[in-house]
Structure 1
Amino acid sequence: MNYATIAGCGAIALWAFLALLSRAAAAIPPLQLTAMAFTVSAVLGLSVVAWRGRLAALRQSRRAWVHGVSGLFGYHALYFAALAWAPPAEANLLNYLWPLLIVLFSGLLLGMRLSLRHLFGALLGVGGCVLLLGGGAGLSAAAAPGYAFALGAALVWALYSVLARRFQGVPTDTVAGFCAVTAVLAAAAHFTVEATIWPDAGALAAAVALGIGPTGAAFFLWDIGMKRGDPRLLGTLAYVTPVASTLLLCAAGFAPLTGVTLAAAALVAAGGLVAARA
């Protein structure tokens, strides 16, 4: 496992805290929270880029900017729309098809060889995700728009992740610029459709933590992993995220720890081991 794949694993680890921090900031409207978190990540990211004297790295082609902004803003806009139009369990279940799509797109779009171990490992991850998020869920026609948004979110994030490899000449510093534009677009959408709520100290701290980790450093690490690491392995290991998120929620007292959760964790761990051996 090279350093870039390890960096991608760091992003997966940070995303495990997304649900916990989002739950702590639940009083903030979704688009407002997105704008706040991405503002934090943009300010920190641009500060580091400026300190390194690499602001010129932001001068990239229109294609690079479309790829970056559509990936970050497009995914989050579709994901939050899915949560608004469909039950959370089903929306999450469909959204977490993106790791499997990354594995498949690595072969279809990048020409990487997919072994049976890659595919079997990814399917074990899907099984763990279905077991964790799909228990008792039933798809309904009334929530069809939400399901479409969730599938769209999965497709957008998988394409953003895999196609990043075609932008290897674009430095990771540009992610700071993508975060800044995403913050502006999210703020514009928020003021259009949501009422602004000033958060209390706990929710504000959670929003800042989101901007530092899951919607901040994680994107820089993921960019490195997708451009120079093994997207097949990272796509499989990404199924750790929903399980780890649930375990953290259980540890914080927001959800009960059940045998289903432990069984899902075992399936995901098995999938990761199978894929790693490939």
Structure 2
Amino acid sequence: MTKKKATLIGLVAILLWSTMVGLIRGVSEGLGPVGGAAMIYTLSGILLIVTVGFPDIRKFPPRYLIAGSVLFVSYEMCLALSLGYATTRHQAIEVGMVNYLWPSLTILFAILFNGLKSTLWVIPGLLISVTGVSWVLGGDSGLNIADIRQNVISNPVSYLLAFCGAIIWAAYCTVTSKYAKGHNGITFFILLTALSLWLKYAFSDQPEMVFSWPVILKLFMVAFALGFGYAAWNTGILQGHVNVLAAASYFTPVLSSALAAVMLSAPLSFAFWQGALMVCGGSLLCWWATRRA
């Protein structure tokens, strides 16, 4: 396979992942936040067994197996439940934007814990990303502290889960980079996430899952996006132009929000798009700071 073709396959992964906010929210509206997430990760795990295969976890470095499992499962649960617990579709898109703090945080963690070289431009990059998320949470008012506070207080669980998820995913990327040593545990981690969600569903009071054709269609679409997205991304980063894929991935917040707005019929304000562009710009600046170094 040529580098160009592998890079295009990697770009398809970014497109697939950009549909997940809208699709996860759509599934959770019919099957509940926990039941819907459990179904999604179960189907995704089955698809990954077919596309990527099941790894021999006995060969995994112990640190990667333990830390990777805990961090990956925690992140995926935070992401799915933060979207499922959002009170409105518009709020679900806002919650998804909070989650996109992870690219900037990943670079920060790599600098702090993995010795990644960077220039001081990473500091304004981080500040721009945080300001962008705050701008989104301010609604039509933009960077308005009172409106941001009122918005977060209206549903602190969703926003807190999304923020914790961003931190956890940054930690997962850092741990994977340091301890994985070429091993890929994504299939095992996805199935472990599904098992954890089914246990939560079984031992907690959850709404009944109501299946309908639109919900079933979204369920298979998001399982496809998650499962084949990881398979396509692996192909891209192993055989394609990694720098191109890294730069393109930082535009995911804007693409994800646009697709979610269409799928959920939830128009977004001009202030939202301003904040989304700030998140992308801040992430790109952080990435550029490491390239300059």
Q: Normalising by structure 1, report the TM-score.
A: 0.76
Q: Is the 8 Å Cα contact of residues 123 and 271 (structure 1) preserved in structure 2?
A: yes
Residue 221 (structure 1) shift: 5.7
Shift of 1:78: 3.2
Provide the residue aligned with 1:126 in structure 2: 130
What residue identity is the alignment partner of 2:74? Answer: G
How many residues align? The count is: 269
Who is 1:101 aligned against?
105
Summarize the alignment of residues 83-232 of structure 1 with structure 2, pairs less than 5 Å apart: 88=91, 92=96, 94-135=98-139, 136-138=147-149, 148-172=160-184, 174-193=185-204, 194-213=206-225, 215-220=226-231
1:223-258 CA-to-partner distances (Å, cap 9, x unmatched) read: 788999979x95x86553333222123334612243
In structure 2, distance between residues paired with 1:259 and 1:244: 15
From the superposition, tell whether residues 109 and 243 of structure 1 become closer, same or farther in structure 2 (CA, over 3 Å).
Answer: same
> Is this contact kept in 1: 2:25–2:83, CA < 8 A?
no
1:60 maps to 2:59: yes
- Unaligned runs of 5+ residues in structure 1 are none
Aligned-residue Cα RMSD (Å) equals 3.8
1:19 counterpart letter in structure 2 = V
CA shift for structure 1 position 170: 4.2
Q: Which runs of 5+ in 2 are unaligned?
A: 140-146
CA separation in 2, counterparts of 1:71 and 1:227? 23
Could you tell me how far 1:119 is from its partner in structure 2? 3.7
Q: Single out whichever of 142-151 and 131-140 deviates more from structure 2.
A: 142-151
Stretch of structure 1 that moved more, 102-111 or 113-122? 113-122
Identity %: 26
Aligned partner letter, 2:21: A
Q: Which moved more, 1:94-103 or 1:181-190?
A: 94-103
Q: Structure 2 vs 1, CA of residues 22 and 141 (structure 1 numbering), >3 Å: closer, same or farther?
A: closer
Which residue pairs with 2:251 in the alignment?
240
What is the aligned partner in structure 1 of residue 22 from structure 2?
Answer: 20
